[in-house]
Structure 1
């Protein structure tokens, strides 16, 4: 919830069109396929970024053991 809320606030402050604003519009219009697709894209992006950060941390800090 925080990830999407932060995206909506950032898009509103800087007047950027983005996925957060589009997701809120889809929720208001009850556009279920767009809601599902948006949440899958956001979730996949979150998982990919966290995996890359964990791998980078294990590479940069030899005290961290990659499992």
Structure 2
């Protein structure tokens, strides 16, 4: 292939990947918004996770120990 053809292919690939990543980002943001709105997950609880990271701080959510096969 000629150099100009490679540049054109690179340009189209760049725009395609950029558009794909933008669509994926907006889909992820919509998923987070929908989960927060429906009450499935409360992301505001996790907002202070970086600040409340001491060992004696209150837990964000209780741990579920239903699976007895796990060692931890």
> TM-score if structure 1 supplies the norm length?
0.50
> Which of these two proteins has the greater Rg computed from alpha carbons?
2
Higher relative contact order structure (alpha carbons within 8 Å, sequence separation ≥ 6): 1
> TM-score if structure 2 supplies the norm length?
0.46
